[in-house]
């Protein structure tokens, strides 16, 4: 009988925070703007490669604009500029909504944003200067790798904090985010 009384009692209302209080929409927007910018840069690299395939390279003889170097810029701009920025923007939007908690530190989010843009642009400059590694999808210059790894560690810390604080069941989406981090 006591169990029936407990079950018949409505659960206490849970205070759900306003999404605008826990999601920094400005950084989400900037990540998506950056992703779009890198998508356009990667399309330019792809166009330069396509022109070479039809023997119409308008920049023939200019080493910095050689198709071999722009192929690397094209693939890295897609992987690390477009996809990574879109993913980080999506994380900034989804993780606070799924955990009902903000990321660990919004200032850290902005530091990560600036540092990641610097990593991607430095990678492009390094690739154009011929400092690529002979590793498919890992062509980033050797001196960029430790900086990128540090950035990824900061990303994991910033997003794992609200997930770890979560009590009770977790959305499956968060499990995928944990695996990606």
Provide the CA 89 distance to its chain's centre, in angstroms.
Answer: 6
Q: Is position 12 within any domain?
A: no
Q: Is position 65 within any domain?
A: yes
CB-side neighbour CA atoms (13 Å) of 64? 4
Q: What is the pTM of this model?
A: 0.84
Expressed as residue numbers, the domain containing 113 is: 22-180
Mean pLDDT of 82-97: 96
- Write the burial class of residue 177 (CB in 10 Å: 0-12 exposed, 13-18 middle, 19+ buried): buried
End-to-end CA gap in the chain: 47
Provide the CA 158 distance to its chain's centre, in angstroms.
Answer: 13
Q: Is position 34 within any domain?
A: yes
Tell me which residue of 65, 37, 40 sits closest to 51, measured CA to CA: 65
Percent of the chain residues topping a pLDDT of 70: 92
Tell me which residue of 126, 112, 110, 129 sits closest to 76, measured CA to CA: 126
| Domain count of the fold of the chain | 1
pLDDT at 97 over 90: yes
Q: Is position 118 within any domain?
A: yes
The string over 64-100, giving b where at least 16 C-beta atoms fall within 10 Å of a residue's C-beta and e elsewhere, is ebbbebbbbbbbbbbbbbbebbbebbebbbbbbebbe
Q: Is position 8 within any domain?
A: no
Q: Is position 31 within any domain?
A: yes
Tell me which residue of 38, 72, 45, 78 sits closest to 59, measured CA to CA: 45
Model pLDDT for residues 26-82, shown as the tens digit of each residue: 999 999 999 999 999 999 888 888 888 888 877 788 877 777 788 888 999 999 999
Model pLDDT for residues 136-172, shown as the tens digit of each residue: 778 889 999 999 999 999 999 999 999 999 888 888 9
Q: What angle do CA 73, 117, 84 make, to 5 degrees?
A: 70
Q: Is position 15 within any domain?
A: no
Q: Is position 81 within any domain?
A: yes
Extract the tokens encoding 106. 């919004």
């Amino acid at each position: 009988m006591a169990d029936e009384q407990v079950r018949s009692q409505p659960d206490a209302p849970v205070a759900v925070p306003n999404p605008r209080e826990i999601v920094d929409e400005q950084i989400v927007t900037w990540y998506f703007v950056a992703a779009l910018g890198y998508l356009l840069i990667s399309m330019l690299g792809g166009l330069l490669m396509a022109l070479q395939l039809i023997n119409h390279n308008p920049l023939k003889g200019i080493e910095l604009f050689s198709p071999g170097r722009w192929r690397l810029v094209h693939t890295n701009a897609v992987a690390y500029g477009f996809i990574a920025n879109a993913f980080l923007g999506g994380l900034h939007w989804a993780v606070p909504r799924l955990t009902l908690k903000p990321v660990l530190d919004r200032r850290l989010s902005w530091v990560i944003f600036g540092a990641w843009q610097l990593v991607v642009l430095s990678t492009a400059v390094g690739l154009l200067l011929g400092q690529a590694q002979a590793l498919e999808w890992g062509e980033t210059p050797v001196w960029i790798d430790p900086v990128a790894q540090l950035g990824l560690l900061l990303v994991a810390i910033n997003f794992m904090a609200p997930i770890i604080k979560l009590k009770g069941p977790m959305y499956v989406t968060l499990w995928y985010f944990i695996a990606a981090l």
